[in-house]
Amino acid sequence: MAEDYTRMWTDLGLDLKAHDALLGVLGPLYEKTFMQQTDRPEGMKYFDFVMSEVHGLRIKELMDAKAAGRKVFGSFCVFVPEELILAVDGILVGLCAGAEFAPDEAEKLLPRNTCALIKGAFGFAVARVCPYLAAADVVVGENTCDGKKKSYEIFRDLVNDLYVMDLPQVKSEAGRELLRHECKRFAARVEEVSGRTIEVDALKKAIDTVNAKRSAMHRLAKLRAAEPAPISGLDALLANQVFFYDDPERFTKSVNAICDELESRTKKGEGVAQKGTPRILVSGCPMAVPNWKLPSIIESSGAVIVGEESCVGERGTRHLTGVEGNSVDALMDNIVDRYFKIDCAVFTPNPSRLDHIREMARDYKADGVIQYSIQFCSPYQIESGPVERALERDGIPVLRVDTDYSQQDSEQIRTRVEAFVERLQD
Amino acid sequence: MTVHAGIDIGSRTIKLVLLEDGRISKTAVTDATYDPIAVCRDLLADVDCRAITATGYGRRLFSRGRSCNVVSEIKAVAQGARFLSAGCRAVLDVGGQDTKVVTLDSRGKLDKFLMNDRCAAGTGRFLEVMAGALSYTYEQFTAAALSATQAEKLNSMCAVFAESEVISLVAQGASREGIALGIHESVATRTLSLMKGLTLSDTIMFAGGGASNPCLRRQIEAGLGRELYVPENPRVVAALGAALCNGEKEKQNGRRQFDAASDQIVRVGGWRA
Ligand code: SF4
Ligand code: SF4
């Protein structure tokens, strides 16, 4: 390690021993999952670096920013409007919860049949191993699925300051009104915490910054439509994951640099997989760092992933926020419009998600869709049935995979994935 | 004369099928033991074949450092079933460690499939453990179940809980035969509910070790309201399918070379051609 961050971690109140144990697992897992891939774009070196410094340099940046008076917000959901936070010069980081840590401790607070993502968040918090959580001045929760909204009642005691956004569950006028009200209430909180007011120019600039990072992801997504696929699904997923905690401008630049590289690859007809390799769209629950289990099984079973219909993926990044308007109110309307379009399965009904999956499958020339659900996640598990039937009716093969963060079922999943790939090859 | 081999390395047994010019020339079934790879080596000791394809739980381990194709047991069982019965559109496979239901499309290609969850409930292994809990051999166990007039109801499908349930039923004086039947019934129910997840055609092949259990077969047939087709040697269907996959792989490899010749740049991630 380039620098010794022990002091910083101690100051953040981390449990150093447990934290070492976490890093001791993460490093080798990253090596095994990412570094053994061949033909990776040069630009992925940036993400390798970010990952190697995920608890180091990036945290130091956050601490320096805090020392300069900026506020750090943490969130678990793509409904939290980053634009409002950037408008007061704050920083938003996604809290990952993509691994099981201290499950026994988590299960002292939660029932066993809670989804792995929520349990993971609790495990990280109780074991004091997440520097992002520790660095966050405010953790923003949101009333989405039952699991999360009830868990926040308990989570409150584990973090510095928990703020919970209420969210609609129906895409009606009343739902939109609720979202508008909640965005305004959140804006007020952001202003209060930062001691600044949201000004038109700053908000415009914030919208531009966030849009730019989303646009870079759109560019990356489109390039993956090429045959052969120019980048592995694992690497693209990593970019989607880093989206949540990197400095936005630096992130945008890095993704665009990769896109330049992929463009020239595609022109030369080069890719990471042989032509004719079955192309898969992954759809469903979010995959937070370091949840790479399913994608790495898929890509070592002779297929390549060409898109993620997920909150860590296109569901989270697809819409831009409108920039028209010359008042904070007008811009706020644009924000509400933009976030109201997110087709999370907590909404009922949620037909636009199916449309989006179809659209992605077509645009990225997917041969099949793998629906990923985290066990005990009712919204996505229940939705996966009708989605599967609809897609199969359209002639798009679907495989459903319900799993959690443990590795025990890897071989069983591999068998299913291999059989699915064989089905696509037939 | 061309010999193609298929080997199915399961959790409990290893199955071998040799195809000579497209006809089955040899089948073998042995215990997997603690060292399945050594068992495979013995099985193949005097086999001279052109190509071999491995399937089952141990396929990857077996293929390591060997020139051998691998295929999932799902595809393998579909291929094998189709070979044995030209019109076959659905297969139920109850193996030692997992249960699967597979459908084939009208061209005989693998279509949808479902497998049991991660635990052993509802599989061959579950039946074996329960036979042990009743101090029966497996054959005695199925015979006892067939002779029972009334089934004892079992509530638990978890192997661990079911075992203690069996013990307490025995302690309450329930008939051993009745318990044996109850156990078969609960596995059949579990299997039937997995089968309900797919639309199945009229002819369903029953493969895997479970197909040789007459009581299980009877219970599933009763639940379905129709007969299952059980081939002569249901255990080797996946090994047979694997053997059949050799030809397909050869075709695919041929196509691949053709691709390489017609396209200037063919890049292969990881396994550069
Ligand atoms: S799936 Fe729904 S609840 Fe989860 S992060 Fe996405 S929008 Fe939020
Ligand atoms: S994965 Fe599902 S259950 Fe878990 S937090 Fe997200 S929406 Fe809730």
Q: Which residues on chain A are in Cβ contact (under 8 Å) with B109?
A: 423, 426
pTM of the model: 0.90
pLDDT of residue A2: 52
How far is residue A86's CA from residue A91's CA, in Å, rounded to a whole number?
6
B253: pLDDT strictly greater than 60: no
Decide if B160 touches A, using CB distance below 8 A.
no
Query: How many angstroms is it from A74 CA to the middle of ligand 2?
Result: 17
Residue A253 within a domain: no
Burial class (CB in 10 A: 0-12, 13-18, 19+), A196: middle
Give bridge partners of residue B70 from the DSSP assignment.
B54
How far is residue B91's CA from residue B67's CA, in Å, rounded to a whole number?
29
Which residue owns the Cα nearest ligand 2 atom 2?
A: A377
Residue A130 within a domain: yes
CATH code of the domain covering residue A10:
3.40.50.11890
User: B31-57, pLDDT tens digit by residue?
Assistant: 999 999 999 999 998 888 889 999 998
Q: B115 and A415: CB-CB below 8 Å?
A: yes
Residue A261 within a domain: no
CB B92 within 8 A of CB B204: yes
Residue A229 within a domain: no
Selection from B71, B94, B99 nearest residue B5 by Cα: B71
Ordered structural domains, chain B, with CATH: 3-84+234-251 (3.30.420.40), 94-224 (3.30.420.40)
Helix, strand or coil, per DSSP, at residue A303: coil
Residue A120 within a domain: yes
**Terminal-residue alpha carbon distance, chain B:** 30
**Helix spans in B196-236 (H):** 214-224
**Cα–Cα distances in Å, from A235 out to A256, A367, A414, B257?**
14, 20, 20, 29
Percent of chain B with pLDDT over 70: 89
Q: A275 and B75: CB-CB below 8 Å?
A: no
**Cα–Cα distances in Å, from A333 out to A163, A182, A187, A352?**
22, 12, 13, 21
Selection from A98, A93, A121 nearest residue A109 by Cα: A121
User: A392-402, pLDDT tens digit by residue?
Assistant: 999 999 999 99
pLDDT of residue B264: 25
pLDDT of residue A298: 97
User: A146-163, pLDDT tens digit by residue?
Assistant: 999 999 999 999 998 999
Nearest Cβ partner for A419 among B74, B256, B266: B74
Residue A283 within a domain: no
User: A154-197, pLDDT tens digit by residue?
Assistant: 999 999 899 999 999 999 999 999 999 999 999 999 999 999 99
pLDDT of residue B118: 61
Q: Which residues on chain B are in Cβ contact (under 8 Å) with A409?
A: 118
Tell me the pLDDT band of A203, cut-offs 50, 70 and 90.
very high
Residue A195 within a domain: yes
Give bridge partners of residue A399 from the DSSP assignment.
A370
Q: How many domains does chain A have?
A: 1
Q: In this predicted model, which residue has the larger pLDDT, B159 or A297?
A: A297
User: Measuring from each residue's beta carbon to the nearest atom of ligand 2, which residues come in under 6 Å?
Assistant: A 115, 117-118, 144-145, 147-148, 285, 374, 377, 379-380
How far is residue A401's CA from residue A384's CA, in Å, rounded to a whole number?
10
Q: How many CB atoms lie within 10 A of CB A151?
A: 22
Range of the domain at A28: 6-203+320-340
Helix, strand or coil, per DSSP, at residue B14: strand
CB A81 within 8 A of CB A337: no
pLDDT of residue B252: 54
**Helix spans in A351-409 (H):** 351-363, 378-393
User: A88-140, pLDDT tens digit by residue?
Assistant: 999 999 997 899 999 999 999 999 999 999 999 999 999 999 999 999 999 99
pLDDT of residue B155: 82
Mean predicted confidence (pLDDT) in A208-213: 98
How far is residue A223's CA from residue A262's CA, in Å, rounded to a whole number?
7
